[in-house]
A and B are shown apart, each in its own frame.
Chain A
Amino acid sequence: MFANFDFDVIRRSLGYLFFDGMTFTLTLTALAALGGLIFGTLIALLRLSSFKLAARIAGLYVDMMRSLPLVLVIFWFYFLVPYIGQWLTGASRPVRVGAFTSSLVTFIMFEAAYFSEIMRAGIQSISKGQPAAAQALGLTYAQSMRYVVLPQAFRNMFPVLLTQTIVLFQDTSLVYVLSIPDFLGAASKVAQRDGRLVEMYLFAAVVYFTISFIASTAVRRLQARISIAR
Chain B
Amino acid sequence: MNYNWNWRIFWEPSPNGTGNYLDMLLSGLVLTIEAAICAWIVALICGSLVGVLRTLPSRGANRFGFWYVELFRNMPLLVQLFLWFFVLPELLPRSWGLWLKQLPNAPFYTAVLGIGLFMSARVAVQLGAGINSLPRGQKMAGTALGLTTAQTYRYILLPMAFRIILPPLTSEFLNTIKNTSVAITIGLIELTAQARAMQEFSFQVFEAFTAATMLYLIVNIVVVTAMRYVERTVAIPGYMTGK
Q: Which residues of A contact B (CB under 8 A)?
A: 1, 64, 67-72, 75-76, 79-80, 83, 86-87, 93, 170-171, 173-174, 176-177, 184, 188, 197-198, 201-202, 204-205, 208-209, 212-213, 216
Contacts and interface: CB of A to CB of B under 8 A. Distances in A.
Interface stretch (B43-51, B143-151, B178-186): B178-186
Contact of B76 (A177, A184, A202, A213): A184
B176 to A, nearest CB: 11
Interface string B82-106: 1100110011000000000000000
B178 A68 contact: yes
Contacts of B240: none
B74 A174 contact: no
A69 B179 contact: yes
Closest 3 CB pairs of A and B: A212-B74, A69-B181, A69-B178
A176 B178 CA distance: 17
Contacts of B30: none
Given A68-B178, A68-B213, A86-B1, 13 more contacts: A67-B174, A69-B179, A69-B180, A71-B184, A72-B213, A176-B78, A198-B86, A205-B80, A208-B74, A208-B75, A209-B75, A212-B73, A212-B75
B220 interface: yes
Consensus secondary structure, chain B interface: helix
Contacts of A80: 206
Nearest to B88: A198
Interface string B164-195: 00000000001001111110110000001001
B109 interface: no
Nearest to B2: A93
A83 B209 CA distance: 15
A177 B184 contact: yes
B66 to A, nearest CB: 11
Nearest to B210: A76
A79 B74 contact: no
A173 B76 contact: yes
A205 B216 contact: no
Interface string B43-80: 00000000000000000000000000011011111111
Contact of A64 (B179, B196, B217): B217
Interface of B: 1-3, 70-71, 73-80, 82-83, 86-87, 90-91, 174, 177-182, 184-185, 192, 195-196, 199, 205-206, 209, 212-213, 216-217, 220
Contacts of B79: 173, 184, 201, 204-205, 208
A83 B213 CA distance: 19
A68 B216 CA distance: 6
A199 to B, nearest CB: 9
A171 B209 contact: no
B184 to A, nearest CB: 6
Contacts of B77: 170
Contacts of B70: 213, 216
Contacts of A86: 1
B82 A87 contact: no
Nearest to A64: B217
Nearest to B92: A1
Contact of B3 (A76, A83, A184, A197): A83
B83 A201 contact: yes
Contact of B182 (A174, A202, A204): A174
Contacts of A174: 76, 78, 182
Contact of A198 (B74, B90, B177, B205): B90
Contact of A75 (B2, B91, B180, B192): B192
Contacts of A177: 184-185
Contacts of A208: 74-76, 79
Contacts of B181: 69-72
Given A198-B87, A201-B82, A209-B75, A69 B209 contact: no
Given A170-B75, A176-B78, A213-B70, A71 B192 contact: yes
A86 B3 CA distance: 12
Nearest to B177: A69
A4 to B, nearest CB: 9
